[in-house]
Amino acid sequence: MKEIGFIGLGIMGKPMAKNLLNAGYDLVVYDINRNPVEELVSAGAQRGLSSKDVAARSEMIITMLPNSPHVREVILGPEGVIEGVKPGTILVDMSSIAPLVSQEVSAKLSEKQVVMFDAPVSGGEPKAIDGTLAIMVGGPQASFDQVKDILQVMGASVTLVGEVGSGNITKLANQIIVALNIAAMSEAMVLATKADVDPEKVFQAIRGGLAGSTVLDAKVPLALKGNFKPGFRIELHIKDLNNALETAHSIGVPVPLTAQVMEIMQVLKVDGKGGDDHGGLIQFYEKQAKIEIRK
């Protein structure tokens, strides 16, 4: 690929774009916020004037946007990608959105002879920065090899899981597991603290056993310090769980535990903590038990 367009330079998109630049790819970048665009231009990217302009100048386009309406607007709306894109272009939407929207957008792009992949990611800002995201890809096998090497610059694992939409189904499954892991971790650490057992020692004792997990290793140390600076915000996890609930209900799958954690996150959002990292879910349990695990 000679020219890659990158649209969406937020917490995740900016470091992902930087990794592509550092790997030697030529980028045309665009975001409605000027600061990250200026930062990327200073690092060697070209400035895009609109999503349409980026599309017209690119052989491959990557979008990294907050939610389904933003993806629709950027790709299908006025001055959107679809107005500037050339036949034969590949678009990789790395946003976490509703699977049905991925399929809808893909169908519209196919009318322009554009191939689309949905490729949401897991790992949060730290793994976006160091290029070790898990990338779950939905799209045609025939075109996968054209994008795999590029995606591997941003991710430690890049897995094609099926056709368009299956990437976001996989991400919803991922987000359910992460949310329930954080809730279980929170319950356990608050229980230990309330019972006068050092939560840090509990963490060290269990992390090598069956209860050990990436979530446990990533979130307990931060919770012990009261560090809820967002790597992945509660309000964004609410968005993902809302997509999970809607998708599950539409195909007749009950997800009662997901619904419970969703309501806990909603309580925290109402309490002004929606911008906290999702590891801040523990604050709900601390408030209920009237104790904090932090030293």
CA-CA distance, 92 to 41, in Å (whole number)? 21
At 231 the pLDDT is: 82
The boundaries of the domain holding residue 83 are 4-163
Q: Are residues 156 and 215 in the same domain?
A: no
Backbone angles phi, psi at 267, to 5 degrees: -60, -45
Task: Please count the residues of the chain.
Answer: 295
Q: Are residues 245 and 151 in the same domain?
A: no
CB 60 within 8 A of CB 149: no
Residues 129, 133, 137, 142: is their CA dihedral positive or negative?
positive
The catalytically annotated residue of 171, 219, 239, 273 is: 171
Q: Where is the domain boundary, 163, 198, 233?
A: 163
C-alpha of 77 from chain center: 22
Closest CA to 106 of 84, 76, 126: 76
* Each residue's pLDDT tens digit, 42-80: 999 999 999 999 999 999 999 999 999 999 999 999 999
Residue 31 lies in a domain: yes
At 23 the pLDDT is: 96
* Each residue's pLDDT tens digit, 261-271: 999 999 999 99
Mean predicted confidence (pLDDT) in 121-135:
94
Q: Where is the domain boundary, 139, 163, 187?
A: 163
On average, the pLDDT of the chain sits at 96
Q: Are residues 279 and 212 in the same domain?
A: yes
pTM of the complete model: 0.90
* Each residue's pLDDT tens digit, 188-233: 999 999 999 999 999 999 999 999 999 999 999 999 999 999 888 9
Counting beta carbons within 10 angstroms of the beta carbon of residue 73, is it exposed (0 to 12), middle (13 to 18) or buried (19 or more)? Answer: middle
Residue 1 has pLDDT above 90, yes or no: no
Identify whether 52 is a catalytic site residue. Answer: no
Give percent of the chain with pLDDT exceeding 90: 96
Closest CA to 23 of 135, 122, 152, 111: 152
* Each residue's pLDDT tens digit, 16-49: 999 999 999 999 999 999 999 999 999 999 999 9
CA-CA distance, 131 to 121, in Å (whole number)? 11
Residue 295 lies in a domain: no
**Cβ burial 165-189 (10 Å sphere, 16+ → b, else e):** bbbbbbbbebbbebbbbbbbbbebb
Q: Are residues 138 and 214 in the same domain?
A: no
Q: Are residues 131 and 190 in the same domain?
A: no
CB atoms within 10 A of CB 208: 8
Q: Are residues 137 and 275 in the same domain?
A: no
Q: Where is the domain boundary, 163, 191, 216?
A: 163
Residue 204 lies in a domain: yes
Residue 2 has pLDDT above 80, yes or no: no
Q: Are residues 183 and 264 in the same domain?
A: yes
Residue 35 lies in a domain: yes
* Each residue's pLDDT tens digit, 79-122: 999 999 999 999 999 999 999 999 999 999 999 999 999 999 99
Rg of the chain on CA atoms, in Å = 20
Residue 294 lies in a domain: no
CA-CA distance, 258 to 261, in Å (whole number)? 5
| DSSP conformational letter for 271 | I
Identify the CATH number of the domain in which residue 47 sits. 3.40.50.720
Q: Are residues 8 and 106 in the same domain?
A: yes
Identify the CATH number of the domain in which residue 179 sits. 1.10.1040.10
Residue 246 has pLDDT above 90, yes or no: yes
Look at the chain and report how many structural domains it folds into: 2
